[in-house]
């Protein structure tokens, strides 16, 4: 466990982000995605705050284990929790968790659907279906919609609690006739066929963060924001100007300087003896790949005291070199704070773009060795 390398999480910024989202989407309810330990921000703390203070009532996980953890840690709260991929529905021990803890599986294949419909214990349990409309990952195929309808009718099911699909390219420009537009058109056809068969669709959602930012797919009852509520845009760099999102990053990653020293041109530094291209100052900061950075990073720039440095040489497990090129007498003192990213979107976006990772990956790479500190500043 680190003592002075910490991820500070400002829950007041999360509240502001939720307010901004509700202003953008006043007619949609929020199904807040908190998989991956709330994208590295601490699932239990984020859900407790979002539920009790922000009145968010529905949350999404990737795994049954995540959902079970939430139910166990937050047993005093009332909220719905959906499991989107790693359902393990066929195991009796897992089935018991769904039934006894009101954890809702999102069914995306016929094996799970037949099991769900065939178990009398699930007769009055919410049925949630996910259709594949072109992402080609999880979901029942559109061509099989009649088979779904027949199975529902045979089992006297006349409603679907929540109907889902997932956009595969919403981080790009959503244009009429494009992939996402076609996905949404197919989703509407699925809903139409269900309604024509006298099957009620109580809730529906398609839009993830990238689609929400572009105002697309908001005719459904729900939206499913993930990354955007943690701060960054989900859009790719070339289309970020199309985003309507003005949220701030809820976290600030801070470490400190362990040591600093002057370097000469050609002087080797760190594992592999990477030579310095010029004179400058080298700072060693207390964060490494054991904390979530990567040894394969593409040398992102970091700003400290108004001067720009860059990660240099190999990232170590416990520390990282930051090279301030052509700055020979930089006033760097051991123990002083060093911020990796702050609350402005530009910080994390620059860091992620330069490393070749998405903000999702950067957040989720942070290990438990980095303490999470929560505040309402």
Give residue 202's domain range.
11-232
Residue 211 near residue 180, CB atoms below 8 Å:
yes
The answer to whether residues 202 and 265 belong to one domain is no
3-state helix, strand, coil in the chain (%, to 5): 35, 25, 40
How many domains is the chain built from?
Answer: 2
| Domain shared by 220 and 118, yes or no | yes
Q: Which of 187, 87, 201 is closest to 134 using CA atoms?
A: 187
* Same domain assignment for residues 204 and 299: no
Task: Give yes or no: residues 287 and 363 share one domain.
Answer: yes
Are 100 and 121 in contact, with CB atoms under 8 Å apart? Answer: no
196/134 same-domain check: yes
Q: Please report whether residue 240 resides in a domain.
A: no
Residues 172 and 268 in one domain: no
Same domain, 292 and 198: no
The answer to whether position 88 is within a domain reads yes
Adjacent-strand bridge partners of 50? none
Question: Of 201, 232, 263, which residue constitutes the final position of a domain?
Answer: 232
Whole-number pLDDT of residue 11: 98
From 198, 232, 266, give the residue that closes a domain: 232
Residue 283 near residue 309 (C-beta atoms within 8 A): yes
In a domain? residue 295? yes
Whether residue 190 lies inside any domain: the answer is yes
What CATH number is attached to the domain comprising 291? 2.40.37.10
Would you state the pLDDT for residue 299? Answer: 81
pLDDT at 93: 86
CA 368 to chain centre: 17
Bridge partner residues of 170 (DSSP)? none
Residues 6+ positions from 317 with CB-CB distance below 8 Å: 288, 289, 290
> Do 268 and 216 share a structural domain?
no
Q: Are residues 355 and 283 in the same domain?
A: yes
Q: Based on the fold, state whether residues 289 and 357 are members of the same structural domain.
A: yes
Tell me if 237 is assigned to some domain. Answer: no
DSSP states of 68-126 as a string?
Answer: HHHHHHTTTS--EEEEEEE--TTSHHHHHHHHHHTEEEEE-SHHHHHHHHH-GGGTTSP
Q: Are residues 65 and 212 in the same domain?
A: yes
Whether 105 is covered by a domain: the verdict is yes
Sign of the C-alpha dihedral, residues 89, 90, 94, 97? positive
pLDDT in tens, the chain (377 residues): 888 999 999 999 999 999 999 999 999 999 999 999 999 999 999 999 999 999 999 999 999 999 999 999 999 999 999 999 999 998 888 899 999 999 999 999 999 999 999 999 999 999 999 999 999 999 999 999 999 999 999 999 999 999 999 999 999 999 999 999 999 999 999 999 999 999 999 999 999 999 999 999 999 999 999 999 999 999 999 999 999 999 999 999 999 999 999 999 999 999 999 999 999 999 999 999 999 998 877 789 999 999 999 999 999 999 999 999 999 889 898 899 999 999 999 999 999 999 989 999 999 999 999 999 999 86
Residue 10's φ and ψ, nearest 5 degrees, are -95, 105
Distance CA 280, CA 164 (A): 54
Q: Write down the pTM of the prediction.
A: 0.95
Q: Which residues contact 177 (CB under 8 A, 6 or more apart)?
A: none
The residue among 200, 232, 264 that closes a domain is 232
Q: Report the CATH number at residue 17.
A: 3.20.20.10
- Establish if 45 belongs to a structural domain: yes
Same domain? 131 vs 212: yes
Residue 244 lies in a domain: no
């Amino acid at each position: 466990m680190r003592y002075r390398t910490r991820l500070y999480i400002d829950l007041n910024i999360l509240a502001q982000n939720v307010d901004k989202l509700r202003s953008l989407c006043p007619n949609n309810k929020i199904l807040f995605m908190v998989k991956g330990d709330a994208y590295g921000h601490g699932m239990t703390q984020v859900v407790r705050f979002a539920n009790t203070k922000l009145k968010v009532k529905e949350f999404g996980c990737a795994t049954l284990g995540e959902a079970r953890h939430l139910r166990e840690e937050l047993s005093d709260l009332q909220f719905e929790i959906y499991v989107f991929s790693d359902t393990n529905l066929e195991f009796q021990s897992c089935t018991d968790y769904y039934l006894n803890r009101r954890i809702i599986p999102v069914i995306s294949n016929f094996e799970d659907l037949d099991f769900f419909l065939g178990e009398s214990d699930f007769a009055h349990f919410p049925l949630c279906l996910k259709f594949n409309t072109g992402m080609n990952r999880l979901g029942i195929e559109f061509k099989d919609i009649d088979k779904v309808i027949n199975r529902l009718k045979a089992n006297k099911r006349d409603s679907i609690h929540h109907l889902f699909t997932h956009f595969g390219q919403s981080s790009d420009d959503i244009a009429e006739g494009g992939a996402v537009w076609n996905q949404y058109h197919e989703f509407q056809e699925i809903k139409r066929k269900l309604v024509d068969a006298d099957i009620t669709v109580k809730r529906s959602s398609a839009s993830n963060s990238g689609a929400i930012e572009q105002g697309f797919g908001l005719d459904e009852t729900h939206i499913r924001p993930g990354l955007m509520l943690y701060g960054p845009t989900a859009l790719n760099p070339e289309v970020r100007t199309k985003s309507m999102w003005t949220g701030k990053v809820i976290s600030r990653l801070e470490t400190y300087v362990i040591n600093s020293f002057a370097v000469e041109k050609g002087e080797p530094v760190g594992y592999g003896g990477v030579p310095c291209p010029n004179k400058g100052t080298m700072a060693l900061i207390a964060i490494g790949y054991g904390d979530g950075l990567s040894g394969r990073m593409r040398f992102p720039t970091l700003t400290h005291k108004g001067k720009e440095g860059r990660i240099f040489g190999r990232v170590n497990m416990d520390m990282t070199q930051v090279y301030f090129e052509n700055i020979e007498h930089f006033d760097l003192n051991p123990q002083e704070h060093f911020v990796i990213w702050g609350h402005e979107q530009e910080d994390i976006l620059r860091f992620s773009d330069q490393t070749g990772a998405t903000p999702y990956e950067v957040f989720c790479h942070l290990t438990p060795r980095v303490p999470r500190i929560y505040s309402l500043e």
